[in-house]
Amino acid sequence: MVQAPERTASAPATTDPDGRDETSMTFVDAIQGTLRDVMRADDRVVILGEDVGRRGGVFRVTADFLEEFGDDRVIDTPLAESGIIGSAIGMALNGLLPIAEIQFLDFIAPAMDQIMNEAARLRYRSNNDFHCPIVIRAPFGGGVHGALYHSQSIEAMFVHTPGLKVVVPATPADARGLLLAALRDEDPVLYLEHKKMYRSIRGPVPAGDEIVPLGVARLVREGTDATIITYGLMVHEATLAATAVSEETGASIEIIDLRSLKPLDERAILDSARKTGKVLVVTEANRPCSVASEVAALVGEEAFAYLDAPVMRVAAPDVPAMPFSPPLEQAFMVGAGQIGTALRRLVAF
Amino acid sequence: MVQAPERTASAPATTDPDGRDETSMTFVDAIQGTLRDVMRADDRVVILGEDVGRRGGVFRVTADFLEEFGDDRVIDTPLAESGIIGSAIGMALNGLLPIAEIQFLDFIAPAMDQIMNEAARLRYRSNNDFHCPIVIRAPFGGGVHGALYHSQSIEAMFVHTPGLKVVVPATPADARGLLLAALRDEDPVLYLEHKKMYRSIRGPVPAGDEIVPLGVARLVREGTDATIITYGLMVHEATLAATAVSEETGASIEIIDLRSLKPLDERAILDSARKTGKVLVVTEANRPCSVASEVAALVGEEAFAYLDAPVMRVAAPDVPAMPFSPPLEQAFMVGAGQIGTALRRLVAF
Amino acid sequence: MATEPIVAPDHAIQRAFQPGAALANGASDPDDLGPVPIADPLTATVAPASIGDAGLPAETLRQMYQALVRARSLDQRIWQMNRIGQAPFVVSGQGHEAAQIGAAFALDRERDVLVPYYRDLALCLAWGLTPADMMLSVLARAADPTSGGRQMPGHYGSSRLRIISGSSVVATQLPIATGVAYAAKLRGTGQVTIVTFGEGASSEGDFHEACNFAGIHRLPMIFFCENNQYAISVPQSLQLAIDHVADRAAGYGFPGVVVDGDDLLAVYHAVAAAVAQARKGDGPTLLEAKVYRYTPHSSDDDDRAYRDQDEVKARRARDPVRLFETRLRDLGLLDDEAIAAIQRDINREIDDATEAAEAAPLPDPATYDRHVYAGG
Amino acid sequence: MATEPIVAPDHAIQRAFQPGAALANGASDPDDLGPVPIADPLTATVAPASIGDAGLPAETLRQMYQALVRARSLDQRIWQMNRIGQAPFVVSGQGHEAAQIGAAFALDRERDVLVPYYRDLALCLAWGLTPADMMLSVLARAADPTSGGRQMPGHYGSSRLRIISGSSVVATQLPIATGVAYAAKLRGTGQVTIVTFGEGASSEGDFHEACNFAGIHRLPMIFFCENNQYAISVPQSLQLAIDHVADRAAGYGFPGVVVDGDDLLAVYHAVAAAVAQARKGDGPTLLEAKVYRYTPHSSDDDDRAYRDQDEVKARRARDPVRLFETRLRDLGLLDDEAIAAIQRDINREIDDATEAAEAAPLPDPATYDRHVYAGG
Ligand SMILES: Cc1ncc(C[n+]2csc(CCOP(=O)(O)OP(=O)(O)O)c2C)c(N)n1
Ligand SMILES: Cc1ncc(C[n+]2csc(CCOP(=O)(O)OP(=O)(O)O)c2C)c(N)n1
Ligand SMILES: [Mg+2]
Ligand SMILES: [Mg+2]
């Protein structure tokens, strides 16, 4: 029998099984600590990718892992993304729990075939005889002078692909909780890390092994007049915008952090839309067929009778991602200013 | 100077320059005839792909081209999609007008990197110094017992990618007109052929060299009570459904065939939505982040005040494309029945 | 579906698999199998001497013959069913059987992992799928064990038999196989992984990336190329600029071996040597069996446009099933009566399989959205 | 931006390029260039005898030296600008210059096509981009001719100079280069296409697919691998299971050649031979220059974690710029005074370029959405 392992056995060893200890740490440290805990707790977990070993990852997420876990479990692969994901799938099929790193989401395209046609479709095509418990980590997003090829936000392509799950933490706590959940999921999960948040975002992180379940959105702040629905770095930009607009207009703004793009928390989205009657969806990605389009379409379809204004979208323009030169980058990148402008229109509607 | 050619020189030789001669022919013959005209008219046009020469394509779209045009211009490539698109890009950069065939849209994933990161972004990244006039043809769509890997409709991924254009003809006349337009466009165009239509759809085709401009939708039938917006094979299914529902309820149904998914004809979409106040968007693809999501979001955003009902979507379920066994395939595939059910709900709203 | 825990909690991971595991299938020490014959497939004559070298018991040779005839007969039946409209789509491995059976018998089918492609009816049959299984798949029945009727026929898979489910996408199985082999090595399971593919697949980037990774980590695996000279219509001369896919191994740091795929025992020898090398920890082999595809690419294809039918005839005249039959006759291991008996049994088995599949229910349409995710 | 019509309306396509075109750059018949030296980069000593074989005029040798120093000096200046916070991101080719200059001079820079990668500052400079162009790009100014400040520095391109614009995606340039070469062959332009890449890039599927296509069609092109032993932090031993990327050519039916990339003239010889072969219609060459990367991978990298700094020191001691300088001194073609004069001119040119770029305006933010499509 060749078979992917069951996830149930793998709870990370932790000094605080109740998860009540919380330490404030950066986003990157939350990810690193969680990866380390899981590597320690379960020898079936392996990490593979370009520069993940000797270099500890180009963002140093796996710094010193090679020393602790050895080069059998921390694999500096050749420069070949399709090979990385393909071998991760094979490892999972034969008893390991691989975490594959794609160095930048921009470079996932060569692996699209393995992700879409193999990982995502394996369970379905085999009528549940096989499954594919892999986690793919990738830094994404802009605003770091990464230019066209180190700034992309192409998560919508994966949200469009049944069989995958896609998560995007916006806080260090969710970084841990979602990663733990992804690592216990029986299906392939794409785990996206906004690279601008690695060292700029800090927050409390529980030490325990409590997961943040996939498919459950987070209420960032409650409000009654309008809702912003977003994810990733845009949660922080939206919060800035909402604070400014609230102060200015007295409007009470609700913010929902999707966290999980697939499965979507449709209930949380619709409940909030029905409550406030005004929805702004924000994504850093290009607009057409984006996650913002999906959420907007969903709200328009299922909460129509409750809407007091059109569902608005703020998204990147339909321009190939992110020019390098700072004035161009700023013009391209979605931020609090642009979100605030849309929000003011929505509130005034 | 290394530079892609200008398109302006290439008008196909035709016996009927006014384009008033119309012959009734199948969808596949319209494509084949157009390709042949263009190959005859302009020696810079080359066709490359798997089995396009000796076999004339697995759907016989390029049957006998090898004999007429020689193996320098009709290139049976190795089995390597990234190589096919990559070389097409290079050919275009050095003076040829390549038409690359991907044997099934399902097999385009290995070329995603070349399409997304190279073809689509070349003009922008070089600040207009280079451009990439290639046409990529690919059969797509289901309902032909093609199972998971010969039925996919993943056009949304390309619609999400700025720098590309995406067209989907639904009639033999549009097959010709859009192909001519694609072949004269200065930018990369993905030209999708619904494989179920090749020999089942027939219609008049003008012989001339008149193009159907990219970005202009087609009004399939006028109506006043509700609008169906769709493309590809679904145009025909929607027509069946509309006819049935009209007869049943007396409702007057407008149908818009998008034809061009990128650029989208936003004006045609919004004009019709504002007129009828009720919109149903239909796609054969998986729903999340689909073209149906985009159109629904757009209508909800820009025609909100005119809507008398929620914008509804009919799409494939979020299941990895198309099982093989007929009962499963039928359950999965979007058709007139399912469209009719949604339309009845919409009309009655 | 439960999986044994594979690494001890005290981190005692086995860094390499156990060497010295015995070869299955009655073969004696694989190191004693003698030299690997390499032959021009169109001119080589099969040297009966190699039989003596094989060190195989008569019983094994007879089993090989039975497996060969079973595969050919089943394949022909499936093809016929398509031609008379009973099966909408089929793909055939006729002409590849000796290569596949030779390979199957050289591996440990109770332990090793098979990552096949759509031509591997004979290989998967020898590996444990039954004609009944195959017929359920051909007729897309609910009980089809490989996909419940969801995939086209020819997409073999079974976790129980360690046959990895494949897609239709050419060459994606190769990096997956390297991952399987990596896990086998890390976990010390002693498994050898064999992955099969056509010469056309060797043009895909995935072939390169898989071989490269396997070479670097000296993975216990075999890249088994069934070179039938065509990828649908594209001849080898437009697929490669070299004579042998096996020559590509030079770029990956492991041996490349060419073998006459019509010669079952030659393939057996070559694969057994590769298995021995892999099991010893000495890394992968790229093994290329020169075969020929007797049928069009699939039931949807017509090969007359692109393939000289004289070429087809010439290759069919060198049928590997007949070649092996003649050998065993010459060795006195088979006679008319034995052959007839074997064929009779096989025909009955295939008849039964067909009837059972025809009687089996189609999938329930309501199940079309099951198993997208766990628990769904 | 207009393009000459490239095929006559009467279908008179030239089926192959014109052979016999003269080599540019003062080289005599490339067939007379003598054997290609292949050397272990760490142990080889450069045999001055090869200079005589080169058949190069003193003036060309001096131009080569000037190009070498110009590239090194500019590269160092750019790196310094990053270190003092004047340039947010830079990537360096220090250590690769002799290989790149040797290659550039062996091609016809007025006609051939260059498909470079991000380490090719020296090559692109020799091909016609100027220090002023480079500085505009480093400072992401509107007038940056390669991208108008849209791409990171190191993403060279110019249609006027036949330098194909590249992305940051490793190895995608390789299939594109084969297409360029295919068009050159079909149109009969006589162009040779050179595409450059690192040894890490040779692991990508795109490398394989490009080489395979080039071999089948015997395209007039050179695959020029600048093997610096690291892909960011990944050492060659984890990138390949073989010693030489060039050995992969065996899988594609054309020659693979290894050359000491610290030896400018050795590279010149090797590339000239490959150019001659390509121009004659005899197809591609995979040429591997053994070089070393003096800096970290980019200004964002710190190589101390993964690279023994003694190794770096040892390789820096064998600096190709100094090696070539010594040669020319030994030949009496350079002395202290000439060297100082060259350096002085170059410094002034770089100072001017820097000042001009600093004074040049940044892109207008309103232009961020221009040029997604034609006319836009
Ligand atoms: C990525 C991909 N591209 C194209 C196809 C269509 N296709 C299916 S089989 C095949 C030919 C395969 O040839 P080869 O690898 O030699 O195997 P053979 O069929 O000859 O055994 C092609 C082009 C596919 N299935 N997947
Ligand atoms: C497809 C892709 N994967 C990963 C990266 C990140 N990356 C940029 S350069 C590089 C290493 C390249 O090494 P090599 O090809 O040897 O060239 P070198 O930088 O050593 O000259 C990597 C991994 C990328 N740009 N593209
Ligand atoms: Mg083949
Ligand atoms: Mg390198």
Domain membership of residue C132 as a residue range? 58-358
Determine the pLDDT at residue D83.
97
- Residue B16 forms part of a structural domain: no
Q: Which of C241, C240, C206 is nearest to C223 (CA)?
A: C206
Task: Return the CATH number at B49.
Answer: 3.40.50.970
Q: What whole-number distance in Å separates Cα of residue D114 and Cα of residue A8?
A: 54
Secondary structure string (H, E, C) spanning B107-164: HCHHHHHHHHHHHCCHHHHCCCCCCCCCEEEEEECCCCCCHHHCCCCCHHHHHCCCCC
Determine the pLDDT at residue C3.
34
3-state SS class at C114: strand
From the number of C-beta atoms within 10 Å of its C-beta (0-12, 13-18, 19+), residue D85 rates as exposed
Which DSSP state fits D163?
B
Domain count, chain B: 2
Helix (H) or strand (E) holding B192: strand B189-194
CB-based pocket (< 6 A), ligand 1: B 50, 79, 81, 103, 107, 110; C 119, 168-170, 197-201, 226, 228, 230-232, 293, 297
D239, A325: Cβ pair inside 8 Å?
A: no
CA count, 13 A, side-chain hemisphere, B156? 32
Shared domain for A260 and A323, answered yes or no, is yes
| C contacts of A124 (beta carbons < 8 Å) | 150, 371-372
pLDDT greater than 90 at residue C130: yes
| A contacts of C133 (beta carbons < 8 Å) | none
C3 touches chain A (CB under 8 A): yes
Indicate which residues of D carry an active-site annotation. 293, 297, 306
- Residue D323 forms part of a structural domain: yes
Q: Give the model confidence (pLDDT) of B112-147 as tens digits.
A: 999 999 999 999 999 999 999 999 999 999 999 999
Q: How far is the CA of D234 from the centre of ligand 4 (A)?
A: 8
Q: Would strands C193-198 and A97-101 be described as parallel, antiparallel, or unpaired?
A: unpaired
Determine the pLDDT at residue B3.
67
**Averaged pLDDT, A283-296:** 98
Shared domain for A152 and A224, answered yes or no, is no
Which DSSP state fits C158?
B
Domain C-terminal end among B206, B228, B246: B206
Task: Return the CATH number at D343.
Answer: 3.40.50.970
3-state SS class at A144: coil
CA D263, D266, D270, D275 torsion-angle sign: positive
Determine the pLDDT at residue A22.
83
- Residue C35 forms part of a structural domain: no
Lookup: tokens for C374:
């766990």
B155 φ/ψ angles, rounded to the nearest 5 degrees: -60, -30
Q: Give the model confidence (pLDDT) of C243-286 as tens digits.
A: 999 999 999 999 999 999 999 999 999 999 999 999 999 999 99
Mean pLDDT of chain B: 95
B327, C365: Cβ pair inside 8 Å?
A: yes
The most confident of C12-16, C292-296, D4-8, by mean pLDDT:
C292-296
Q: How far is the CA of D341 from the centre of ligand 4 (A)?
A: 34
From the number of C-beta atoms within 10 Å of its C-beta (0-12, 13-18, 19+), residue D9 rates as exposed
Q: How far is the CA of D232 from the centre of ligand 2 (A)?
A: 7
Share of chain A above pLDDT 90, in %: 92
D307 touches chain B (CB under 8 A): no
Substitution site in C152, C170, C248, C288 for ligand 1 pocket (most atoms within 8 Å of beta carbon): C170
Shared domain for A248 and A301, answered yes or no, is yes
- Residue B148 forms part of a structural domain: yes
Q: What whole-number distance in Å separates Cα of residue A178 and Cα of residue D352?
A: 53
C248 touches chain D (CB under 8 A): yes
Model confidence at A18, pLDDT cuts 50, 70, 90, reads low
Question: For the ranges A9-23, B319-333, C205-219, which has the lowest average pLDDT?
Answer: A9-23
User: Taking a contact as any Cβ pair under 8 Å apart, which residues of chain D between 38 and 97 contact chain A?
Assistant: 88-89
Determine the pLDDT at residue D41.
37
Lookup: tokens for A282:
């924000």
Q: Which of C282, C279, C211, C201 is nearest to C249 (CA)?
A: C211
Model confidence at B22, pLDDT cuts 50, 70, 90, reads confident
Mean pLDDT of chain C: 88
- Residue C240 forms part of a structural domain: yes
Determine the pLDDT at residue C54.
55
Shared domain for B202 and B223, answered yes or no, is no
pLDDT greater than 70 at residue A272: yes
Q: Give the model confidence (pLDDT) of B56-71 as tens digits.
A: 999 999 999 999 999 9
Which of B4, B83, B125 lies closest to D167 in CB terms? Answer: B125
Q: How far is the CA of C201 from the centre of ligand 1 (A)?
A: 6
| C contacts of D242 (beta carbons < 8 Å) | 215, 250-253
Determine the pLDDT at residue A3.
67
Shared domain for A108 and A166, answered yes or no, is yes
A325, D233: Cβ pair inside 8 Å?
A: no
- Residue D120 forms part of a structural domain: yes
Cα C226–C232–C235 angle (5° rounding)?
75
- Residue C149 forms part of a structural domain: yes
D174 touches chain A (CB under 8 A): no
Q: Sheet containing D285-290: which strands, arranged edge to edge?
A: D113-115, D193-198, D221-227, D285-290, D256-260
CA A273, A276, A278, A284 torsion-angle sign: negative
Domain C-terminal end among A206, A238, A267: A206
- Residue D265 forms part of a structural domain: yes
Determine the pLDDT at residue C24.
30
Domain count, chain D: 1
Determine the pLDDT at residue D308.
95
Domain C-terminal end among A156, A178, A206: A206
Residue A291's closest chain B neighbor by CA? B289
- Residue B243 forms part of a structural domain: yes
Shared domain for A171 and A98, answered yes or no, is yes
- Residue A52 forms part of a structural domain: yes
Q: Which of A87, D230, D217 is nearest to B71 (CA)?
A: D217
Query: Facing residues of B99 across strands?
Result: B47, B135
Residue C208's closest chain D neighbor by CA? D205
Q: Which chains touch A (3+ CB pairs under 8 A)? A: B, C, D
Q: How far is the CA of C128 from the centre of ligand 1 (A)?
A: 25
Crossing angle for the helix pair C205-216 and C173-187, nearest 10 degrees? 20
Long-range contacts of D336-344 (CB under 8 A, 24+ apart): D342/D65, D342/D66, D342/D69, D343/D69, D343/D73
Lookup: tokens for B97:
């007008």
Residue C247's closest chain D neighbor by CA? D251
A contact test, residue of D304, D369, D370, D372 with most A CBs within 10 A: D369
Shared domain for A183 and A308, answered yes or no, is no
From the number of C-beta atoms within 10 Å of its C-beta (0-12, 13-18, 19+), residue D333 rates as middle
Q: Could you count the other beta carbons within 10 Å of the beta carbon of residue B247?
A: 9
- Looking at C163-263, list the stretches that DSSP marks H as alpha helix, in order from N- to C-terminal side: 173-187, 205-216
B325, C306: Cβ pair inside 8 Å?
A: no
- Residue D44 forms part of a structural domain: no
Q: What whole-number distance in Å separates Cα of residue A89 and Cα of residue A254?
A: 40
**Averaged pLDDT, A204-210:** 94
Shared domain for A181 and A292, answered yes or no, is no
Helix (H) or strand (E) holding B203: strand B202-206
Shared domain for A185 and A316, answered yes or no, is no
Q: Which residues contact C331 (CB under 8 A, 6 or more apart)?
A: C48, C51, C58, C61
Q: Could you count the other beta carbons within 10 Å of the beta carbon of residue D344?
A: 10
10-residue stretch averages of pLDDT, chain D, 376 residues long? 29 24 31 34 37 75 98 98 96 98 98 98 98 98 98 98 98 98 98 98 98 98 98 98 98 98 97 98 98 98 95 96 96 97 98 98 97 94
Indicate which residues of C carry an active-site annotation. 293, 297, 306
C209, A118: Cβ pair inside 8 Å?
A: no
Query: Facing residues of A260 across strands?
Result: A167
- Residue A11 forms part of a structural domain: no
B50: distance to nearest CA of chain A, Å?
Answer: 18
Shared domain for B155 and B244, answered yes or no, is no
Model confidence at B20, pLDDT cuts 50, 70, 90, reads low
Shared domain for A163 and A306, answered yes or no, is no
Q: Give the model confidence (pLDDT) of A225-249 as tens digits.
A: 999 999 999 999 999 999 999 999 9
Determine the pLDDT at residue C7.
28
CB-based pocket (< 6 A), ligand 2: A 50, 79, 81, 103, 107, 110; D 119, 168-170, 197-201, 226, 228, 230-232, 293, 297
Determine the pLDDT at residue D55.
77
Which of B42, B90, B126 lies closest to D178 in CB terms? Answer: B90
Domain membership of residue B341 as a residue range? 218-347
Torsion of CA D16, D21, D27, D32, to 10 degrees: 70
D contact test, residue of A103, A112, A325 with most D CBs within 10 A: A325
pLDDT greater than 70 at residue C166: yes
Q: Which of B131, B145, B150, B236 is catalytic?
A: B150
Q: What whole-number distance in Å separates Cα of residue A183 and Cα of residue D124?
A: 46
- Residue D123 forms part of a structural domain: yes
Q: How far is the CA of A79 from the centre of ligand 2 (A)?
A: 7
Q: Which of A263, A195, A258 is nearest to A31 (CA)?
A: A195
D167, B129: Cβ pair inside 8 Å?
A: no
| Cβ–Cβ under 8 Å, residues A313 and A287 | yes
As a whole number of Å, the end-to-end CA separation of chain B is 61
| Cβ–Cβ under 8 Å, residues C225 and C256 | no
| B contacts of D195 (beta carbons < 8 Å) | none
Shared domain for A182 and A59, answered yes or no, is yes
D346 φ/ψ angles, rounded to the nearest 5 degrees: -65, -40
The model's pTM: 0.93
